[in-house]
Structure 1
Amino acid sequence: MAPTVPPPRVPPSAERGGDAPGGPWGGWYERELGWATVGGSPVRLLTGLRFDALVVPAVAGHAALRRVGRTGPVALMGLRMSLLVAPGSAEELPGLLDWLEWGGVALALTGLGAGGRITAPPPPPGRPVEPGAATWLRPPGPSREQDEAPVLPAFSGFGSRGGDAPDLVRLVDAVATECHRARLTRARAGGFPDEPAAQPLAFS
């Protein structure tokens, strides 16, 4: 039987959301995962270094997760979901959507790469401090080695450590499908979709 891996240890200051270096919880992310943070309240995680993020409406994200199964870490904040993917994925997103024949379709799907940031949830197994606050749906695990990156969705065979990473193409196609489905559902119900008229690539 494989040994049970204990959950990451959260220091008392992180449980309080306290004053670790880099802002609340910042010290834990930098020490345990090697993720760069920006201090403040709330602390933010920088994208484009150890990971990029696909940001989608939560309803579309939940539906996509049921379809694709295995992914990287996934964070939820209010009505938006952030799916962490391999660095460089945000830059490839517009071309990938074109290749998947989603180009030109209005989707509430944003790629955050270099210069972007997402709100840091409390370190696992922490709880959000208030309704709508950021929380991990699929939390990250601690790195075993200083230079080891977490297993994140990537192009098959490219930066995937022998093909063991979840497939980025499958994830993006599922997310795009569910974003479009949610938009059509809202349109039929007489609502107004909150996505822009064209697919953006966001960096902030």
Structure 2
Amino acid sequence: MAFTVPSPRPPIDADPARWYERELGWTTEPGPPVRLVTGLRFDVLELPAEAGRAVLRRVGAATGPVALAGRRMRLLVAAGSAEELPGLLDWLEWGGIALDLAALGDGGRMTAPPPPGWGGPGAPGAAVWLRAPLPGREVESSLPALRSAPWGDEGAPCLVRLVAAAAAECHRARLLSARARRPAAQQLFPQRFASS
């Protein structure tokens, strides 16, 4: 006879803010919803979820923790990365191109997903961890960083590679979206699209 074991539940007095502060050393703002303060221990790259899924396929586990909130994906990166994003995009020759790619850095806030193992599915569009940070590990050393060995952690993933993939996938998602809208415009204004 088989039976199902229910998911572990947090203690009745459990507070997600305290969990983030105690287990990970991250600064929070009490909620609801609890918000994680960016720019101190980590920054966030935020992009459309569709583009984010493609980035995860391209770069694999080198992304570090990843959260999903509605139609937006949030990739945690090393603190200070948000300041580097505009220059890095220019260097990668994405400067001046409209990308739906943003960074949260010093003074930013991110809605905190429930800690791993806490509760069931939340409200539609609520923040959830796709790749949760692991308590008991130095999370910051595993985040994508601009500097690699010998200046940083040799095993840390590379921010340049992550941003290059994110920019390409954001641009691809934008082009596909524009292509999907084009047939409707052609139906409304057929004389504009008639060949000569």
TM value normalised by structure 2: 0.82
Judging changes above 3 Å, is the alpha-carbon distance between structure 1 residues 179 and 54 closer, same or farther for their aligned structure 2 residues? same
In the alignment, structure 1 residue 118 sits paired with structure 2 residue 117 = no
Equivalent AA in structure 2 for residue 165 of structure 1: A
Counterpart contact for 2:51–2:170, Cα < 8 Å:
yes
SS of the aligned residue for 1:189 comes to: helix
Q: CA RMSD in A?
A: 1.9
Partner of 2:171: 180
Change in 2 beyond 3 A, CA 1:10/1:53: farther
Deviations 1:146-195 (A, max 9, x none): xx73410012237632x11111110000010000000000111117xxxx
Q: Which residue of 1 aligns with 2:3?
A: none
SS of alignment partner, residue 190 of structure 1: helix
Aligned to 2:122: 129
Instruction: Report the structure number with the largest CA radius of gyration.
Output: 2
1:60 and 2:51 matched: yes
Task: Describe the superposition over 1:69-96 as per-residue Cα deviations: whole angstroms up to 9, x where unpaired.
Answer: 1211000010001000000000000000
More helix by share: 2
Equivalent pairs counted in the alignment come to 172
Query: % of aligned pairs identical?
Result: 65
Q: Does the 8 Å CA contact 1:73/1:84 hold for their aligned counterparts?
A: yes
Q: Secondary structure at the match of 1:172?
A: helix
Number of the residue aligned with 1:100: 92
Q: Distance in 1 between matches of 2:152 and 2:52?
A: 23
Query: Which ranges of 4 or more aligned residues in structure 1 deviate by more than 4 Å?
Result: none
**With structure 1 as the length reference, what TM-score do the two structures score?**
0.79
Secondary structure at the aligned position of 2:44 is classed as strand
Unpaired stretches in structure 1, ≥5 consecutive residues: 1-8, 192-204
Does structure 2 retain, via aligned residues, the 8 Å contact 1:151–1:160? no
Structure 2 Cα separation of the partners of residues 123 and 42 of structure 1 = 13
Runs of 5+ unmatched residues, structure 2: 1-7, 183-196
Aligned to 2:189: none
Contact preservation (8 Å) 1:121, 1:128: no
Q: Specify the alignment match of 1:49 in structure 2.
A: 40
Aligned mates of 2:140, 2:50 — CA distance in 1: 29
| Alignment check: 8 A CA contact 1:51 1:87 kept | yes
For the residues of structure 2 that align with 1:66 and 1:85, how far apart are their CA atoms?
Answer: 17
